[in-house]
Chain A
Amino acid sequence: MITREEIIKIYGLANLHIADEDIDEVREKFSTIMDYADILKEIDKDENEILELVTDKNVELREDLIKPSVKRSDALKNSAMTEYGYFKLERVVE
């Protein structure tokens, strides 16, 4: 069973809050899934290769050329706060 500490650590890594009263429920759910995921141990042999993505070509890096990007006003359009043509936050913190 996954520990409470592990759940808290994972949510922290994911930049998510978890309420104290929800931890046990999540622990249980994740443990069930992790146990069930152990079915994959049966195929975990050294000779078996991995497959991340089926693709028909090697993705190459494009040339690093400077070209026009989105307009500044467009880039800022969906930000909660802007100031003098920049993104703005309520306060600067560490």
Chain B
Amino acid sequence: MGYKISEIQGKYLSGELRVEDFVKSNFNKIRENDLGSYISLDEENALEIARIIDEKIANKEELGSLFGITFAVKDNISTKDLRTTCASKMLENYIPIFDASVIERLKAEDAIILGKANMDEFAMGSSSETSYFGPTKNPIDKSLIPGGSSSGSAAAVAGDEAIVALGTDTGGSVRQPAAYCNIVGYYPSYGLISRYGVVAMGNTFDQVGLLANSVEDIVKVLNVVGGYDEKDPNSHEGQVDYKLGAYSFIGKKIAIVKDIESFNIDKVVLDDYYRALEDLKNLGAELVEVEIDHLKYANMIYTVLVSAEVSSNLSRFDGIRFGYHDSNYSSTQEMYIASRSGGFGDEVKRRIALGTLLLSSNNDQVRYKRGLKGRKLLRDEMERVLNDFDFFISPTSTKLPNKLGERKDDPLSVYDSGTFNVLANISSLPAISLPIREGISGSIQIISKRFEDEKLLDAAYAFERRQR
């Protein structure tokens, strides 16, 4: 059922397991599974750190809270001296000169980074099929997609190739692959985890998210990577030191989606969702169907605003200071065009162009401004709902994972990251995806008020420990 932090650390301390042996077993598993979950491995360095921690344990020295815990890190999070490609030819040879703040914090607590996880190119996609390095397979059924864009992060955790993973989530990119690989995926309140050193896609939507086999492990890692960072201008003041075990669903009012069957949901996903609702009722919750009036606009608000942010954020790639460079040019603009066109994949180029179209001034950015109005309306509506209810609950994804290579070419579905997922990103609200049963199946998503992450995680913990 996957690795857990407390179990592995218990084995380290009792002498039953050496950190070096566990790290070796992770690398063996990566090779044996052959899921394509990692783009780059940092084997030598990881084993060296493992030996240092083994020595600390032997000498009874002070240990960091994540000692010997193995991590897969999505390849759009900057790691010093370890190649960071964003799954793009553009950054195929890019080696960062600094660690993202989240990486600094993990290292300071004796965590071990095994390598960089595969993803959709520049986090644009939901299947890993846009990765320049080839797709990732779903560890539960290798013929299926693992979801995305944090594809390798989810596959690595579900496939026992790491204990925990860092992903990023702009419109469901942590929660949807977590659901497809049947693990826990968490998107924090905007500002709770530092974005410093994370390659921006839609910067007002992007957050580092966490993927693990249990809520408890999510909280252990969040207590390390969360909290104020002066290097991130949108970072929320205050430290994160969450505890679990206090939340009870008894007597709590929870909002659920009204007319769920009108959302074109796979039968299996719907049945699992109903199962989860029964469980919540058995836990003592009162479920109330709530209509979100602006939900029907969510996907378009998301598509419009994120495309615009993408076109702006990806304008920094010019092929001069870093990144793919094409030397075949005879003017400055030709140099930019040659380098960018050669370095970016088709999907990335299309999204940059779409964003450029939305931001071009000949229509006074009318569609972009409408998107911003929609964002305000939806955000206000979600705030009102969450003033009346503890949580808003829905299925995480409306679909089960499809077969690898069956990617639809429908221009709208490409941008459809999941109506229920984008709700959280548009409104800057925290959300968590939880498995309901074993195997390929539906998951539920719980959304809470902004900065009520501790309550959200504690409720998720209570749900996870429910008696069936």
Residues of A within 8 A of B (CB): 2, 6-7, 10-18, 26, 28-30, 32-34, 36-37, 39-45, 48-57, 59, 70, 74-75, 77-81, 87, 89-90, 93-94
Contacts of A12 in B (CB 8 A): 337
Task: Judge whether B354 and A51 touch: CB under 8 Å.
Answer: no
Contact of A50 among B334, B337, B375 (CB under 8 A): B375
Task: Judge whether A54 and B190 touch: CB under 8 Å.
Answer: yes
Task: Judge whether A51 and B379 touch: CB under 8 Å.
Answer: yes
Task: Judge whether A10 and B356 touch: CB under 8 Å.
Answer: yes
Contacts of A77 in B (CB 8 A): 95, 97
Q: How far is the CA of A33 from the CA of B439 in the complex (A)?
A: 35
Task: Judge whether B370 and A79 touch: CB under 8 Å.
Answer: no
Task: Judge whether A87 and B321 touch: CB under 8 Å.
Answer: yes
Q: How far is the CA of A78 from the CA of B83 in the complex (A)?
A: 11
B415 on the A face (CB < 8 A): yes
Task: Judge whether B353 and A53 touch: CB under 8 Å.
Answer: no
CB within 8 Å of A: which of B298-313?
A: 300-301, 303-304, 311
Residues of B within 8 A of A (CB): 93-95, 97-98, 190-191, 204, 233-234, 236-237, 294, 296-297, 300-301, 303-304, 311, 315, 318-323, 325, 327, 329-338, 340-341, 344, 349-350, 352-357, 360, 366-367, 369-377, 379, 411-412, 415, 427-428, 450
Q: How far is the CA of A30 from the CA of B428 in the complex (A)?
A: 27
Contacts of B233 in A (CB 8 A): 59
Contacts of B301 in A (CB 8 A): 40
Task: Judge whether A78 and B95 touch: CB under 8 Å.
Answer: yes
Task: Judge whether A54 and B450 touch: CB under 8 Å.
Answer: yes
Task: Judge whether A78 and B321 touch: CB under 8 Å.
Answer: yes
Task: Judge whether B350 and A37 touch: CB under 8 Å.
Answer: no
Supplied contacts A40-B373, A80-B319, A93-B329, 15 more A-B pairs, CB within 8 Å: A12-B337, A14-B352, A14-B356, A15-B337, A16-B341, A16-B344, A30-B353, A40-B370, A40-B371, A48-B377, A54-B450, A56-B191, A70-B97, A77-B95, A90-B327
Min distance, Cβ A48 to any Cβ of chain B, angstroms? 4
Task: Judge whether A16 and B340 touch: CB under 8 Å.
Answer: yes
Min distance, Cβ B148 to any Cβ of chain A, angstroms? 20
Contacts of B375 in A (CB 8 A): 50-52
Contacts A78-B95, A93-B329; is A10 near B357 (CB within 8 Å)? yes
Contacts of A16 in B (CB 8 A): 337, 340-341, 344, 349, 352-353
Contact of B321 among A36, A79, A90 (CB under 8 A): A79
Contact of A78 among B237, B323, B355 (CB under 8 A): B323
Interface of B is mostly: helix
Q: How far is the CA of A52 from the CA of B294 in the complex (A)?
A: 17
Contacts of B428 in A (CB 8 A): 54
Min distance, Cβ B426 to any Cβ of chain A, angstroms? 9
Task: Judge whether B333 and A30 touch: CB under 8 Å.
Answer: no
Contacts A10-B360, A51-B372; is A37 near B353 (CB within 8 Å)? no
Interface of A is mostly: loop
Q: How far is the CA of A93 from the CA of B330 in the complex (A)?
A: 6
Q: How far is the CA of A50 from the CA of B350 in the complex (A)?
A: 26
Q: How far is the CA of A42 from the CA of B301 in the complex (A)?
A: 12
Min distance, Cβ A22 to any Cβ of chain B, angstroms? 9
Smallest Cβ-Cβ distance to A93: which chain B residue = B331
Interchain residue pairs with CB less than 8 A apart (29): A7-B353, A14-B340, A14-B355, A15-B340, A16-B344, A16-B349, A16-B353, A18-B349, A26-B350, A28-B411, A29-B411, A30-B411, A36-B300, A36-B412, A40-B297, A40-B301, A40-B304, A40-B367, A43-B370, A44-B373, A45-B373, A50-B372, A51-B373, A54-B190, A55-B191, A77-B97, A79-B321, A89-B335, A93-B329
Min distance, Cβ B200 to any Cβ of chain A, angstroms? 13
Contacts of B356 in A (CB 8 A): 10-11, 13-14
Min distance, Cβ A87 to any Cβ of chain B, angstroms? 6
Contacts A39-B297, A90-B327; is A52 near B204 (CB within 8 Å)? yes
Contacts of B234 in A (CB 8 A): 53, 55, 59
Min distance, Cβ A89 to any Cβ of chain B, angstroms? 7
Q: How far is the CA of A33 from the CA of B61 in the complex (A)?
A: 59
Smallest Cβ-Cβ distance to B342: which chain A residue = A17
Contact of B341 among A10, A17, A33, A89 (CB under 8 A): A17
Contacts of B311 in A (CB 8 A): 14
Contacts A13-B360, A40-B374; is A26 near B353 (CB within 8 Å)? yes
Contacts of A81 in B (CB 8 A): 325
Contacts of A87 in B (CB 8 A): 320-321
Contacts of A17 in B (CB 8 A): 337-338, 341
Contacts of A14 in B (CB 8 A): 311, 315, 340, 349, 352-353, 355-356
Contacts of A78 in B (CB 8 A): 93-95, 97, 321-323
Q: How far is the CA of A88 from the CA of B357 in the complex (A)?
A: 33
Q: How far is the CA of A1 from the CA of B441 in the complex (A)?
A: 40
Task: Judge whether B327 and A11 touch: CB under 8 Å.
Answer: no
